[in-house]
Chain A
């Protein structure tokens, strides 16, 4: 059974919802960052020693081979914004660790944008030497993710496509709160 400290109690936490294109960083143990992901990716990165963490949320329309192209430049910029904000708040690059979520394929017949987004995030973090300590990517369900930036704890609920917000099914910001299927995974 997972122990939930008072600071991890979602009801008592200050919730910060991270929508597509946004990035947030915090050193407050009472903050929990939330987001809802379809094919989008959220990277949760923190420095455990400095007690600072943050989340971004992005979607690359076509990440291609990950080596070039405007979409990849956008993705690299989204990651850079988060990392720079972490460094400004006292994180050290060599201590950063990441958890990544999202990249689902919600519909058959569409190109697997989620997979190429996941591949981009994994490649970026590998190239930058930031270890991925856990991840939940791919699949066919949307995800509701809650991230405690100082402890690094993440709670994920899988959301059936039919229950996922419209903007998660066809990603256009801003997302709406999702109906949960009740499944919870701890990372």
Chain B
């Protein structure tokens, strides 16, 4: 079983409040190595400079949205294996379908609970300790 503390995470959201809430939830699950980026463009630069094991990304963001970030990650060989969880709103079924086509590992519907986020991550990595 993987340890949450050994998995590095990049949280991507244009809202500071949402990044703080996601970080808080990840810390409750046991994650320790957590970085943040305010949009897809910054996230891609961040990942290329220092890869992460997991990206948790919002969809609606300026400059580069979550779907464009996903496509960019999957097209850069050094980081194409990065696990990618997309955060979506309730009405974004079409977005989820497109994200699946582009290789998203899972998605989490806002507003999420800590347990809900944990389950989504565990569906990708297996049960976390």
Contact = CB atoms under 8 A, between A and B. Distances in A.
Contacts of A76: 15, 17-18, 21, 111
Interface string B46-85: 0000000000000010100000000000000000000000
Interface of A: 67-68, 70, 72-74, 76-77, 79-81, 83-84, 87-88, 93, 124, 127-128
Contacts of A93: 14, 62
Given A68-B24, A77-B111, A127 B16 contact: yes
Contacts, number: 47
B16 A73 contact: no
Interface in B77-129: 89, 110-114
Given A77-B111, A127-B16, 7 more contacts: A68-B24, A72-B21, A76-B15, A77-B110, A80-B15, A84-B60, A124-B17
Nearest to B13: A80
A72 B20 CA distance: 11
A119 to B, nearest CB: 13
B17 A127 contact: yes
